[in-house]
């Protein structure tokens, strides 16, 4: 534990308000985690899956009304509305604290409050940031143990300072009308109540590593972005890194874990995953922009993940994984989701825990007829990823050659183009748009503007965020080049034009060649576009 007075006083104050029966400090040990898993299984909060086929794997179901991030109930609580901007929801901080205190009061009665000290980044390193999450959910504890670096060494690293993010989460009654995900950037505080869905309650992820961190980044001259980090290793042994920002459920995990097409593999080109969702970017001593992944695991979308689309993700989640809201195959006590294979289980429970009849599946009504919820997830350890980069634990991260923006657009946006400068690239990021997905509640498939894929995640005014991008451009001596991609264009019959998945490396290859000045391009009104012959389509069926 700790003697840190700030921490002890704050834990006491929160416990006095929420009234848990007991308080348990999470120490990061396997022994404690195992006890919690057993407890969660004994209460039905988690189901232990077939340990021969899926060692260390569990299934959890959230409440039916609580399956995605709730952007309408997510608030940035800065003293003035201008600081939060006109895209974020805003409540004045003292009003918000008062409103939420009423909901939190007594909400942990009969429950345990867990104290989770966690680090975003390598504990003790220059660029790590620390948080403590208080929660009444074992599911949250077990997910945080996978997604972040948890334990007593974090308390040691915080020492006697008050420099840590104070997160309070209570499931309360899971009442959607009183669900709040609130950020107080000036107070280093996050309060989340009445939800049990990952994106709302694993406070290290969206709440800290994006919303609070983007605010800190602006103050401290760095950037927190909704980006994957991918390494491409060339036969000469050199590895180049790109960061890519796509909105939720648009294939960041797939690009981060891609397997090169055969023609590339034959040439000895390999790809490595550094991160699949969040990048913290700062200027290195060499004047380049460096990216590190503050997380320690993947909270990936399950549906659509299969041996072809993303074998690396599939292998990553074959052990030590918590599955949420997927379909439960009762014949062999394993899990299934739409798009895993063509063999839906005949004897199964759907994501709601009801008997599921796969023959009734209707694509137009996925929520009610699918086995797995469209936003069902796997929480899996990064160390289990077969293509994890050897730089994953490098506290400084990796130097970035290119930043890629992209969205899901059936029409309009071309396969790839390059901006003409950092400033123009900032503009390209700012006009990003994408068709909405199931990762957030609301309509699906509608084009919405999602600047830098950060619309739901900027912890302050979007206008100031763009200014921060422009300001950073002035102080990065060797800035990455900025590109835009769209894997999702369709023909008039609605079929995808580009094969996507591993073949996206062909586009990344062009991007890296551009960064090195190895390939020419045509300057158009939107920026540089490739000459058709410069995208390598060798071995690509059906494209000539
Ligand atoms: C996520 C999201 O879970 O963006 O990564 O919703
Ligand atoms: Mn995300």
Do the bridges between strand 481-485 and strand 447-449 make them parallel or antiparallel, or are there none, so unpaired?
unpaired
Neighbouring C-beta atoms of residue 102, cutoff 10 Å: 11
Closest-lying ligand to the alpha carbon of 147?
Answer: 1
Q: Is 301 exposed, middle or buried (0-12, 13-18, 19+ CB in 10 A)?
A: buried
Report how far residue 290's alpha carbon sits from residue 121's, in angstroms, rounded to the nearest whole number.
13
Task: For the sheet with 327-329, list strands across it.
Answer: 334-336, 327-329, 348-349, 355-356
DSSP string covering 330-396, please? TTTTEEE-TTS-S---SSEE-TTSSEE-GGG--GGGHHHH-SS-TT-EEEEEGGG-TTB-TTTT-TT
Distance 452 CA to ligand 2 centre (A): 12
Looking at residue 436, its pLDDT comes to 87
Distance 86 CA to ligand 2 centre (A): 22
Best residue among 203, 210, 249 to mutate for probing ligand 1, ranked by most atoms within 8 Å of CB? 249
With residue 480 as reference, give the H or E element that holds it: none
Distance 13 CA to ligand 2 centre (A): 32
Distance 70 CA to ligand 2 centre (A): 13
Distance 525 CA to ligand 1 centre (A): 33
Report how far residue 249's alpha carbon sits from residue 236's, in angstroms, rounded to the nearest whole number.
34
Report how far residue 116's alpha carbon sits from residue 151's, in angstroms, rounded to the nearest whole number.
7
Distance 199 CA to ligand 1 centre (A): 6
Q: Whose CA is nearest to atom 4 of ligand 1?
A: 248
Looking at residue 438, its pLDDT comes to 81
Whether the pTM exceeds 0.85: the reply is: yes
Q: At what angle do helices 30-43 and 138-147 cross, to 10 degrees?
A: 140
Active-site option among 96, 182, 207, 250? 250
Nearest atom of ligand 1 to the alpha carbon of 199: 3
Nearest atom of ligand 1 to the alpha carbon of 377: 3
How far is Cα of residue 242 from the mean position of the Cα atoms in its chain? 17
Report how far residue 275's alpha carbon sits from residue 399's, in angstroms, rounded to the nearest whole number.
13
Q: Is 89 exposed, middle or buried (0-12, 13-18, 19+ CB in 10 A)?
A: middle
Contact 257, 529 (CB under 8 A): no
How far is Cα of residue 95 from the mean position of the Cα atoms in its chain? 30
Residues with CB under 6 A from ligand 1: 69, 199, 248, 277, 299, 439
Distance 455 CA to ligand 2 centre (A): 11
Report how far residue 459's alpha carbon sits from residue 278's, in angstroms, rounded to the nearest whole number.
14
114 HSE (CA, 13 A, CB side): 26
Closest-lying ligand to the alpha carbon of 74?
Answer: 1
What are the pLDDT tens digits along the chain (544 aa)? 899 999 999 999 999 999 999 999 999 999 999 999 999 999 999 999 999 999 999 999 999 999 999 999 999 999 999 999 999 999 999 999 999 999 999 999 999 999 999 999 999 999 999 999 999 999 999 999 999 999 999 999 999 999 999 999 999 999 999 999 999 999 999 999 999 999 999 999 999 999 999 999 999 999 999 999 999 999 999 999 999 999 988 989 999 999 999 999 999 999 999 999 999 999 999 999 999 999 999 999 999 999 999 999 999 999 999 999 999 999 999 999 999 999 999 999 999 999 999 999 998 899 999 999 999 999 999 999 999 999 999 999 999 999 999 999 998 899 999 999 999 999 999 999 998 888 788 888 889 999 999 999 999 999 999 999 999 999 999 999 999 999 999 999 999 999 999 999 999 999 999 999 999 999 999 999 999 999 999 999 755 4
Neighbouring C-beta atoms of residue 480, cutoff 10 Å: 22
Q: Whose CA is nearest to atom 3 of ligand 1?
A: 199
Residue 182 bears catalytic tag: no
Best residue among 208, 255, 277 to mutate for probing ligand 1, ranked by most atoms within 8 Å of CB? 277
Nearest atom of ligand 1 to the alpha carbon of 457: 4
Report how far residue 377's alpha carbon sits from residue 143's, in angstroms, rounded to the nearest whole number.
11
Looking at residue 544, its pLDDT comes to 46
- What are the E-state strand segments in 215-368? 223-225, 227-233, 239-245, 270-275, 279-283, 289-292, 297-301, 322-324, 327-329, 334-336, 348-349, 355-356
Characterise 136 by phi-psi region: left (phi > 0), alpha (psi -120 to 50), beta (else): alpha
Neighbouring C-beta atoms of residue 399, cutoff 10 Å: 18
Contact 468, 202 (CB under 8 A): no
Neighbouring C-beta atoms of residue 167, cutoff 10 Å: 28
**Ligand 2 (single-atom ion) residues, CB below 5 Å:** 248, 277
**Tokens representing 75?**
């608030």
Looking at residue 543, its pLDDT comes to 56
Radius of gyration of the chain (CA): 23
Nearest atom of ligand 1 to the alpha carbon of 456: 4
Closest-lying ligand to the alpha carbon of 227?
Answer: 2
Looking at residue 44, its pLDDT comes to 97
Report how far residue 271's alpha carbon sits from residue 274's, in angstroms, rounded to the nearest whole number.
10
Contact 321, 379 (CB under 8 A): yes
**From the DSSP assignment, how many helices (H) and strands (E) are in the chain?**
15, 31
Neighbouring C-beta atoms of residue 98, cutoff 10 Å: 11
Best residue among 147, 181, 199 to mutate for probing ligand 1, ranked by most atoms within 8 Å of CB? 199
Closest-lying ligand to the alpha carbon of 69?
Answer: 1
Q: Whose CA is nearest to atom 2 of ligand 1?
A: 248
Q: Is 402 exposed, middle or buried (0-12, 13-18, 19+ CB in 10 A)?
A: buried
Best residue among 439, 454, 455 to mutate for probing ligand 1, ranked by most atoms within 8 Å of CB? 439
Q: Which residues contact 495 (CB under 8 A, 6 or more apart)?
A: none
With residue 167 as reference, give the H or E element that holds it: strand 165-170
Closest-lying ligand to the alpha carbon of 245?
Answer: 2
Nearest atom of ligand 1 to the alpha carbon of 69: 6
Determine phi and psi for 33, rounding to 5 degrees.
Answer: -60, -40
The Cα angle at residue 474 between residues 473 and 480, in degrees rounded to 5 = 35
Distance 248 CA to ligand 2 centre (A): 5
Residue in 170, 136, 179 with CA at minimum distance from that of residue 43: 136
Determine phi and psi for 430, rounding to 5 degrees.
Answer: -70, -25
Neighbouring C-beta atoms of residue 39, cutoff 10 Å: 13
Residues in the chain: 544
Distance 256 CA to ligand 2 centre (A): 12
Q: Whose CA is nearest to atom 1 of ligand 1?
A: 248
């Amino acid at each position: 534990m700790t003697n840190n007075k700030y921490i002890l006083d704050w834990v006491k104050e929160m416990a006095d308000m929420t009234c848990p029966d007991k308080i348990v400090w999470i120490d990061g040990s396997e022994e404690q985690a195992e006890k919690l898993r057993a407890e969660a299984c004994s209460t039905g909060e988690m189901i232990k899956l077939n340990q021969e086929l899926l060692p260390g794997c569990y299934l959890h179901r959230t409440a039916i009304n609580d399956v995605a991030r709730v952007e309408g109930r997510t608030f940035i609580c800065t003293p003035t509305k201008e600081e939060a901007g006109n895209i974020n929801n805003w409540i004045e901080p003292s009003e918000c604290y008062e409103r939420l205190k009423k909901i939190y009061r007594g909400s942990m009665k009969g429950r345990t409050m867990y104290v989770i000290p966690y680090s975003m980044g390598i504990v003790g390193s220059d660029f790590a940031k620390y948080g403590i999450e208080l929660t009444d959910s074992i599911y949250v504890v077990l997910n945080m143990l996978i997604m972040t670096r948890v334990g007593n060494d974090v308390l040691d690293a915080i020492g006697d300072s008050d420099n840590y993010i104070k997160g309070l989460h209570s499931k309360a009654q899971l009442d959607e009308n009183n669900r709040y995900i609130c950020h107080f950037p000036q107070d280093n505080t996050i309060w989340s109540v009445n939800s049990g869905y990952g994106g709302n309650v694993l406070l290290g992820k969206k709440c800290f590593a994006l919303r609070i961190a983007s605010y800190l980044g602006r103050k401290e001259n760095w950037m927190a972005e909704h980006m994957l980090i991918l390494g491409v290793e060339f036969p000469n042994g050199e590895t180049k890194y790109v960061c890519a920002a796509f909105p939720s459920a648009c294939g960041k995990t797939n690009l981060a874990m891609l397997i090169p097409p055969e023609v590339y593999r034959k040439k000895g080109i390999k790809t490595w995953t550094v991160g699949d969702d969040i990048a913290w970017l700062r200027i290195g001593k060499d004047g380049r922009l460096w990216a590190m992944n503050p997380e320690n695991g993947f909270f990936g979308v399950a549906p659509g993940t299969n041996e072809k689309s993303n074998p690396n993700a599939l292998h990553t989640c074959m052990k030590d994984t918590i599955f949420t809201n997927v379909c439960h195959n009762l014949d062999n006590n394993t899990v299934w989701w739409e798009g895993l294979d063509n063999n839906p289980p005949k004897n199964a429970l759907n994501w709601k825990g009801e008997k599921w009849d796969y023959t009734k599946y209707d694509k137009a009504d996925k929520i009610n007829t699918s086995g797995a919820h469209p936003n069902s997830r796997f929480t899996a350890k990064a160390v289990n990823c077969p293509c994890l980069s050897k730089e994953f634990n490098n506290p400084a991260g990796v130097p970035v050659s290119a930043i890629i923006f992209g969205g899901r657009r059936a029409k309009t946006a071309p396969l790839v183009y390059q901006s003409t400068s950092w400033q123009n690239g900032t503009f390209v990021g700012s006009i990003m748009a994408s068709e909405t997905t199931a990762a957030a509640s609301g309509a699906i498939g509608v084009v919405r503007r999602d600047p830098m894929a950060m619309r739901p995640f900027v912890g302050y005014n979007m206008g100031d965020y763009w200014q921060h991008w422009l300001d950073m451009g002035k102080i990065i001596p060797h800035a990455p080049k900025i590109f835009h991609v769209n894997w999702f264009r369709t023909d008039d019959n609605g079929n995808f034009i580009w094969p996507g998945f591993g073949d996206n490396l062909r586009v990344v290859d062009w991007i890296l060649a551009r960064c090195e000045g190895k390939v020419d391009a045509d300057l158009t009104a939107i920026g540089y576009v490739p000459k058709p012959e410069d995208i390598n389509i060798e071995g690509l069926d059906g494209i000539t």
